[in-house]
A and B are shown apart, each in its own frame.
Chain A
Amino acid sequence: MLDTLIQGLLLGGLYALFALGLSLMFGVMRLTNIAHGDFIVLAGFAGVLVAGALGGQAWPAALLVIPIAFGLGWLLQRHLLNRTYGRDPLPSLVVTFGLSIVVQNALLEFLSADPRSLPTGGLSTASFALGQTQVGVLPLAIFCVALGCTAALQWLFARTAVGRAFRAVSDDRSIAELMGLDSMRVYALATAVAFALIALAGVLQAMRTTVAPTDGPQLLIYAFEAVIIGGMGSFWGTLIGALVLGVVQQIGFRFDPGWGIWFGHLVFLAMLVVRPQGLFPKTR
């Protein structure tokens, strides 16, 4: 049982990285990016390609992909997604849905449907014993990165001028503009940060297992379920939601390999029915 719990928490760490970007974009701009998972996959593939070009090294590839993703996110928001801003949720959903299709098919076209992974030189298989459980080094590292990112985001939002700008623009856009903020630039920055997280998640996913062009939707669903279970409005909530999801899935896997994901869906649906605001909703 302890083993399931630990593996679940470690899996949840990765899910948290998937979910933080989604939570960020929704928190600041009420924007739901349906291509979220596909961009994670794209980042994973980018990492694989860059690593291949650099002679197989995983970590330099990761370090390169993240700033590129940051820039891409900024450009995407500034020049495309900002145009979908408004009361009607449809344009942003259609645009991000279209992006999802474009990204998936572009990956299929240029790379083939085969799953690829980032070689880590043994790190992905290294593990140590903790009591009776084998704990993978990479999953543990991912867990720590997730913790770090959550803390960093929380700090960014609560203690910095940028975070204040994010919160202000999300509270009341026109008054924020009255204070001198350019909301379109603030949104671009928010998406840039979200994409940096997406890239980190994608690269780590490629290291931990594999990425395939059609994986995107599934990753989006994990991210989404984590955000809903945890409650919208705080990054720690998203992290907890992801951990819960990871544990629940592991429990499901224990019963039957085909049931893990299904269990996760069930807990998600149950949460929606019983406590739709999630475990740690924002109260203000």
Chain B
Amino acid sequence: MTAHVVRSTRSSRVALALSLAWLVMAASLPFWGEASWMREFTEMSAYFIFAMMWNLLAGYGGMVSIGQQAFFGLGGYTMVALANLAGIDPFVSIALAALLAGLIAVPVSWVAFRLQGGYFAIGTWVIAEVMRLTVANIDAVGGGSGTSLTAFRGMDRTLREHTTYWVALAAVVATLAGVYLFLRSKQGLALQAIRDSEVAAESQGVAVQRTKLAVYVVAAFGGGLAGALYFVSTLRISPDAAFGINWTAFAIFIVVVGGIGRIEGPIIGATLFWLLNKFFADYGTWYQIGLGLLAIVVAVAFRQGLWGWLQQRTGLTLFPTTRWLQPPAQAASDAAPGQP
């Protein structure tokens, strides 16, 4: 009698079905929803994609960076430059901007990877600062005070808003699907092995440095995508808005409170963040203090975040990336095997 390798649980199949239903509903939003909802969704998707990338980098790759806003801003500015100065369609520019961000990550890594741990984190921040200062000196994109996205002049407003929304939706789905499929793959397994122990992974034949670079590039690509998307929606960019540390701050909050190293975590975290934002953002500094304190408490007392805590209690997995060995007797029934 052989045991079976199982890759999905009942709850994950349910989640897949629900996600598809949600997707259909979301895709139809422009026809029954308000314009402000679409804008809000687009902005939230930028936060979410950026957070997913930070999760990939820190939760799976073991690289804690507080300078990912470098790629967010780079993506935004590249999109604006291509659209305003080169006349390329802004939506196409989003893709090109993401690509460029991914490419730039390679030379950046030559510098950043010289550092480890906490110093790596600050080093990436310095690199983001360098980018901010450099961009603030480029007059073609408005220098220190920034510029507006003019490439949409003449386009019908409703069409622009709808297209932006659909592009955002597609980007979210692509990000989720991409990350999920990657983590389920052999490379994804290698990544988690590296996170758990670089030395052990290397001894098993995993190309540690190459894998870390690949993750860094992918995270940069995603960060650039998020940035370009955000500024296509807001239509105005400036160095402080593009390269601000608040992007990383919010990503950290979303990932840590939601649950690091899991795909469900940032989903929960982003939802929570959106809710908190909706009700409390008006409180300004107190709201930020609250976010900071919440992140501290979670990092100390609930290291696995909300989702991790839930998963430990219930064994629930919606996006399973691991494989379970199902004993022969159980193969007949369709029961969820429990904790991965």
Contact = CB atoms under 8 A, between A and B. Distances in A.
Contact of B295 (A31, A98, A106, A228): A98
Given A84-B300, A221-B129, A276-B114, A105 B137 contact: no
Nearest to A269: B111
Contact of B245 (A30, A84, A217): A217
Given A97-B249, A225-B126, A265-B129, A272 B111 contact: yes
B125 A221 contact: yes
B126 A268 contact: yes
Interface stretch (B78-86, B89-97, B115-123, B206-214): B115-123
A93 interface: yes
15 contacts: A30-B118, A80-B296, A84-B299, A90-B58, A94-B256, A95-B295, A95-B296, A99-B296, A101-B292, A102-B292, A105-B292, A228-B119, A261-B133, A269-B111, A272-B115
B170 interface: no
Interface of A: 26, 30-32, 34, 80, 83-84, 89-95, 97-102, 105-106, 108-109, 217, 220-221, 224-225, 228, 258, 261-262, 265-266, 268-269, 272-273, 276
Given A91-B299, A95-B299, A32 B118 contact: yes
B117 A30 contact: yes
Interface in B247-305: 249, 252, 256, 260, 285-286, 288-289, 291-293, 295-296, 299-300, 303
Given A225-B126, A269-B130, A32 B285 contact: no
B66 A34 contact: yes
Interface of B: 58, 64, 66, 110-111, 114-115, 117-119, 121-123, 125-127, 129-130, 133-134, 137, 245, 249, 252, 256, 260, 285-286, 288-289, 291-293, 295-296, 299-300, 303
Contacts of A217: 125, 245
B285 A105 contact: yes
Given A106-B289, A108-B285, A94 B299 contact: yes
B164 to A, nearest CB: 30
B263 to A, nearest CB: 18
A34 B299 CA distance: 15
Per CB-CB distance, the 6 closest pairs between chain A and chain B, nearest first, are A32-B118, A101-B292, A98-B296, A94-B299, A276-B114, A105-B285
A265 B133 CA distance: 10
A80 B123 contact: no
Contact of A83 (B66, B122, B256, B300): B300
Contacts of B66: 34, 93, 97
A101 B249 contact: yes
A99 B296 CA distance: 8
Nearest to B286: A109
Given A84-B300, A228-B119, A269-B126, A94 B295 contact: yes
A217 B126 CA distance: 10
Given A95-B299, A265-B133, 4 more contacts: A84-B299, A221-B126, A262-B134, A269-B127
A220 B66 CA distance: 13
A83 B249 CA distance: 21
Contacts of A261: 133
A99 B292 contact: yes
A106 B293 CA distance: 12
A283 to B, nearest CB: 18
Given A97-B252, A262-B133, A224 B122 contact: yes
Nearest to A261: B133
A265 to B, nearest CB: 5
A89 B64 contact: yes
B294 to A, nearest CB: 8
A190 to B, nearest CB: 15
B289 A102 contact: yes
A224 B119 contact: yes
A104 to B, nearest CB: 8
B260 to A, nearest CB: 7
B142 to A, nearest CB: 15
A204 B118 CA distance: 27
Contacts of B252: 94, 97
Contacts of B123: 224, 228, 272
* Most B Cβ at <10 Å: residue of A84, A101, A258, A273: A101
B111 A220 contact: no
Contacts of B303: 91
A83 B296 CA distance: 11
A26, A91, A94 — most chain B CB neighbours (10 Å):
A94
A62 B186 CA distance: 59
A77 B216 CA distance: 32
A34 B115 contact: no
B90 to A, nearest CB: 30
B299 to A, nearest CB: 4
A101 to B, nearest CB: 4
